[in-house]
Chain A
Amino acid sequence: MQSIINSIVKNRNLIIYLFLSFVTFNYLYNNSSVHYSGFGKVGTFISGSTSSVYSYINSYFNLRQENNKLIEENLELKKYESQFIDKSNKRDVSESKIDKTISANVIFNSINKSKNIIVINKGELNGITKEMGVISSKGVVGIIKNITDNYSSIVSLLNTDLKINAILKNSSTIGSISWNGLDPRIVQLNDISLSSSIKIGDTIITGGMSFYFPKGIPIGRIEDYNNTSLEGYYSIDVSIFSDFSSLSNIYILKRTDNDEIKSLLNE
């Protein structure tokens, strides 16, 4: 206590000076409009910059929440998009009738095997059934293979067992997409006859002739092709739009018309 008093006595001139300066500034602030606005500007600058730093830091803590919000929004938009496509193209509803889109997060993913599997955090309890199509924001991902109550496994597009119906966007030539197990960025488009005209850069989309995907979901772009095959078909390399190495949020498409179509086929 004594030392505090001593230091106050020792620095009394500084304390008095600061106190009188404060009084003077107060006097300036209250009486002069120039200084009032000047101090006001400094105040605004300080509060503005501290608030922006605070919100910048705070936004990091809310990223997960924001991300979830965006996923939900995206989901809504995808629903609207599919409805819009239905109406504007006046297609047969069976082609792209998506009743529900379920979002999920990837919890396991591999790209370095020949039969790659993805595991997601949604399962039967979330309304997922077998053989539902799975897409990301960029394009096709795979098909639901096995389900438990809370988890599902997906046969990835990078799985040599999977074959997906696909068409050339420009010419509607039908083919099928499969993977040869080599490069995780490149899949192969098969069954395109040499009579079709193709060029590098053509977009490949889903053909809609399967139970899994409606027509028009992007798959990839023609990277390279070879027409020297003796079988009469092109050998086409397609670079896929979805980046499987950084897959995080995916959407599962639930089609209501599958059962109807299947029942027809079984008859």
Chain B
Amino acid sequence: MNRELAKEIILSLVIVLSQLLIFNHMKLFGTVDTFIYVSLFILYKTTYNKTYLILFGFLVGLIIDLSFQTYGAHTLASITVCYLKERIEKYSFGVNSTLPLAMIRGTQLTNRVTYFFLIIFIHSLIYFSLIFFKFEFTLTIFLYTLINSIINFIIIWVISKLIFDK
């Protein structure tokens, strides 16, 4: 158990560091920011304490905010998806939502896609709403959210495959 935990902590550190050192400096197609750190919340085991997840989300979000100079947009998006994670799991997996890990083999692909996409979409929506923060940018917010969600979904999906197939 302790070994597993240590492994996960190291994995989290690697993801956060790669976000800070690599993905923060990448802007795909000139507009898309890559937020691979969201994968941490997606892959956080359902059996772990939800309160810790919210605190963990706050900590990660704060680190990203400080590096991005976004003054809390990442933090709020992160703690919100962490808080809503349980509901999103229930919505996406239905009766299988109590399974120890969302990415467990055997779950339906559509369920997994829904789960991934919902978390990424909600995160992006909150993030861009706070970044633009004006009603007249509503359309822009939705456009950015949609494009970012799709691109980030693909990236996070690939990363999670790499981690778990290993």
Contacts and interface: CB of A to CB of B under 8 A. Distances in A.
Interface string B47-84: 00011001100100100010000011101100110110
A218 to B, nearest CB: 55
B134 interface: yes
A80 interface: no
B122 interface: no
B133 interface: yes
Contact of B83 (A13, A24, A34): A13
Nearest to A14: B83
A17 B79 contact: yes
B51 A16 contact: yes
B85 to A, nearest CB: 10
A27 interface: yes
A31 B66 CA distance: 11
B58 A20 contact: yes
A16 B51 CA distance: 8
B20 interface: no
Nearest to B49: A13
A12 B75 CA distance: 19
Contact of B71 (A12, A21, A32): A32
Contacts of A13: 50-51, 54, 83
Interface in A31-65: 31-32, 34-35, 38
B130 interface: yes
B65 to A, nearest CB: 8
A133 to B, nearest CB: 62
11 contacts: A12-B51, A13-B54, A17-B54, A17-B79, A20-B54, A27-B71, A28-B72, A31-B72, A35-B130, A38-B133, A38-B134
Interface of B: 50-51, 54-55, 58, 61, 65, 71-73, 75-76, 79-80, 82-83, 130, 133-134
